[in-house]
Amino acid sequence: MARMTMIEAIREAHDVAMAADERVVVFGEDVGFFGGVFRCTAGLQEKYGKSRCFDAPINESGIVGTAIGMAAYGLKPVIEIQFADYVYPAYDQIVSEAARLRHRSNADFTCPLVIRMPTGGGIFGGQTHSQSPEALFTHVSGLKVVMPSNPRDAKGLLLAAIDDPDPVIFFEPKRLYNGPFDGHHDKPVESWKSHPLGEVPDGEDIVPLGKAAIRRAGAEVTVLAYGTMVFVAEAAAEETGVDAEVIDLRSLMPLDLEAIVASVQKTGRCVIVHEATRTSGFGAELMALVQEHCFYHLEAPVIRVTGWDTPYPHAQEWEYFPGPGRVGEALKKVMED
């Protein structure tokens, strides 16, 4: 197995899919000649030509609308929105067209479309380059929503998304592109090259959608996390000494409810962590599901640790970012109740 960054793993997934199926096309702003703002598509245009990997105008609604038409006619477009913050002009196309196509056509048409988006903060991107809008898409019937936390999952989940007959929103935590991040911004940066999850199998190694992974086994409290927050949760557990079981959801829709229920019924406690704003965040849905399915097993109220209900600040980035200190406080509090 090769060792890769998440950027390289995503690029590898594109390459494997494009080599296997000529219907796979890749496009977006600067993804062709330049290889994407984060270089996730570098070299694909040179290898597969300008008809299969090409640049698009700066028009998110146009990019998504074109991709939906391509998908309806049998192609398998994989498109990039440069930052998740820029997807809003295309939201109507995604919700009203891509998500509804199978249902409104009585399955005569499907929409095998993947929309890739760098998401989240931790890079001093400010309020217009740091948002985490996943809850806006988990709310929409007909969409699948994925967020990997490491290179191995990034490749495997992207291959599964490309193979899926329905539209998949694929969020990529940009703070994890080049290495894992536990929330301690003042520590030296760690590379994926020295991390076990930086080992990526060759070829078509698919990670199925809808299956969570236990990143840290534990018996005292279940932590539900995804993306960057997986590593923050692991760090908080180690630093507090709380025997936490950290579950990496990986897929938000479909959700691995079975894994969540099994863990919470075992531990009797639950902490939910995400970087997005608190109100109406995906953590609220997770909390409701835990209460519904695990009520008689809970020893304490479920706690959420999230971003604040404000635009993502630039100067106070680390006060906004749910770091291991805040997560650790939640772990200790849930153990006291």
Confirm if 158 and 170 have CB atoms less than 8 A apart: yes
Average confidence (pLDDT) over 193-222 = 96
Which residue in 327, 122, 332 sits closest to 236, CA to CA? 327
How many CB atoms lie under 10 A from the CB of residue 49? Answer: 11
Burial (CB count within 10 angstroms: exposed 0-12, middle 13-18, buried 19+), residue 74:
exposed
The 3-state DSSP class for residue 269 equals coil
Phi, psi of 187 (to 5 degrees): -90, 160
Chain mean pLDDT for the chain:
97
Q: How many CA atoms within 13 Å lie on the side-chain side of 145?
A: 24
Q: What's the pLDDT tens digit per position in 56-103? A: 999 999 999 999 999 999 999 999 999 999 999 999 999 999 999 999
Q: What's the pLDDT tens digit per position in 121-131? A: 999 999 999 99
Which residue in 103, 195, 214 sits closest to 150, CA to CA? 195
> In three state form, how does the secondary structure of 183-244 look?
CCCCCCCCCHHHCHHHEECCCCCCCCCCCCEEEECCCCEEEEECCCHHHHHHHHHHHHCCCE
Residues paired with residue 114 on neighbouring β-strands, in sequence order: 78, 168
- Can you give the pTM of this predicted structure? 0.97
* pLDDT value for 265: 98
Is 129 tagged catalytic? yes
Q: What's the pLDDT tens digit per position in 148-191? A: 999 999 999 999 999 999 999 999 999 999 999 999 999 999 99
* pLDDT value for 142: 97
The dihedral over CA atoms of 161, 209, 172, 120, expressed in degrees to the nearest 10, equals: 140
Average confidence (pLDDT) over 233-253 = 98
Q: What's the pLDDT tens digit per position in 289-321? A: 999 999 999 999 999 999 999 999 999 999 999
Burial (CB count within 10 angstroms: exposed 0-12, middle 13-18, buried 19+), residue 166:
middle
Strand ranges (E), 235-283: 244-248, 251-253, 270-277
Confirm if 264 and 270 have CB atoms less than 8 A apart: yes
Confirm if 30 and 55 have CB atoms less than 8 A apart: yes
Phi, psi of 307 (to 5 degrees): -70, 170
Confirm if 111 and 101 have CB atoms less than 8 A apart: yes
The answer on pLDDT for 1 being more than 90 is: no
Residues paired with residue 24 on neighbouring β-strands, in sequence order: 76
Q: What is the DSSP letter of 277?
A: E
> Catalytic one among 14, 103, 129, 184?
129
The answer on pLDDT for 337 being more than 80 is: no
